[in-house]
Structure 1
């Protein structure tokens, strides 16, 4: 969960219709393929460096990374590694985002170039495998719209061995469901399925961990809102402080985004 100066979102694509035994069947369209972390060239086809709005958010890490700077954003073997390293500056700069904390870390964030817009004519699935440390850091995979909220956190870790599934309808109307998360840094799968409710205004979000549905939440008024998919390694903030004194590594692999319908 992020302090709420947040603008976040996720994805968009194209659709196919297949004819099968006389009926029209809506086919899945792969918006981001599961091999998008196989090389930097493939990564840069589907993903952009940093947050959609820049380098700072509401924690104590400043995001760094570009096509020529891979110190904190590393891609290879179909795995994305986001790396947070404490800075040695004795007088740390201040974040440009509320609540303007001191910047104690250099870290990494990426976002998908395509956006997600849930409508009555489509549904979306976001999935991947994650190795997440949990001590005073906020590694996240989430969706939210420009002009926050809405927001839906598919993966968030806040200083305990739990993953938080969150949906923000307003800054105070928040639904959170926690699922126990192993502390051994092994990879575990997370998935969210987003579908429009019959009122054509709200979005149902089914959250899965290791192929088991762990929570169902509802985003009020999420239909038609263009959203980003962001993967970031933020430090301290609402997860508490002080953060780790050494390097922290958050690994993500086999992330895939698909859309069914138009």
Structure 2
């Protein structure tokens, strides 16, 4: 049976729609029950990582569909730790399959003050790398987009981050390019900023992490008062076959 052009286009559109599967819906911050279905507290490995803040569930808040992570100065934590702060990670792991990929989108209100280190990233569930920093702010007035192949082989792009007191949209498109490697397209407020590549990423699981670390790579001293990092309308969509 020969299909009309309109019918053919409809089938193509339907096939594309069926290929997209929502893994994390943009409603996961709308209630505690919706959050609990998709997210766990802290980092996948625990409470501490490469900075002056220890993560704690008490520093994670939900209100009006917005996730708020708050870093609070705190003494007596030991070592170089100076803050209690918040982190969450996905219960699902994200593994790019051959011929597949993911889109990660959301709106972020992130500080660029010295000593503050908000991030939105994917990190290897076992071993390291892979790691994709889909958005990272390191106290410099800029936003960073990074893809790690090894600790010494990193593709990084820093651009100016306007109006940190406002929400900005972030989108990261990850796709298989040859059955072994992936491409990563980073968007800020709807504009493509850079395209990077990750070697040998296919088939390697990663967790999605949102955290507010302090000091470390963002410099010191950090703020003496509370710092907040907010996220809304976050969504993860799979295009894996």
Give the TM-score, by structure 1 length. Answer: 0.84
Tell me the residue number matched to 1:93. 78
The answer to whether the 8 Å contact 1:40/1:76 transfers is no
The answer to whether the 8 Å contact 1:50/1:108 transfers is yes
Given candidates 123, 133, 141, the residue that maps to 1:161 is 141
- Following superposition, the deviation at residue 220 of structure 1 comes to 0.7
Tell me the residue number matched to 1:16. none
Tell me the residue number matched to 2:167. 187
- Is 1:226 the counterpart of 2:218? The answer is no
Q: Radius of gyration: which is bigger?
A: 2
Quick one: distance in 2 between partners of 1:202 and 1:122?
11
Quick one: distance in 1 between partners of 2:13 and 2:30?
37
Quick one: distance in 2 between partners of 1:76 and 1:202?
39
- Following superposition, the deviation at residue 183 of structure 1 comes to 3.7
Tell me the residue number matched to 1:59. 51
Within 5 Å, which residues of 2 pair with 1:117-132? Answer: 117-132=95-110
Can you give the 5+ residue segments of structure 1 that lack an aligned partner in the other structure? Answer: 1-19, 66-70, 95-101
Paired residue total? 229
- Following superposition, the deviation at residue 179 of structure 1 comes to 2.1
- Following superposition, the deviation at residue 22 of structure 1 comes to 8.5
Tell me the residue number matched to 2:233. 254
Quick one: distance in 2 between partners of 1:22 and 1:37?
33
Tell me the residue number matched to 2:31. 39
How large is the Cα RMSD of the aligned pairs? 1.6
Tell me the residue number matched to 2:64. 77
SS of corresponding position for 1:114: strand
Quick one: distance in 2 between partners of 1:22 and 1:75?
39
SS of corresponding position for 1:121: coil
Structure (1/2) with the larger helix percentage: 2
Quick one: distance in 1 between partners of 2:188 and 2:214?
23
Quick one: distance in 1 between partners of 2:109 and 2:118?
10
- Following superposition, the deviation at residue 211 of structure 1 comes to 0.7
SS of corresponding position for 2:35: helix
SS of corresponding position for 1:42: helix
Can you give the 5+ residue segments of structure 2 that lack an aligned partner in the other structure? Answer: 1-9
Quick one: distance in 2 between partners of 1:256 and 1:36?
8
SS of corresponding position for 1:182: coil
The answer to whether the 8 Å contact 2:110/2:164 transfers is no
The answer to whether the 8 Å contact 2:90/2:209 transfers is yes
The answer to whether the 8 Å contact 1:36/1:46 transfers is yes
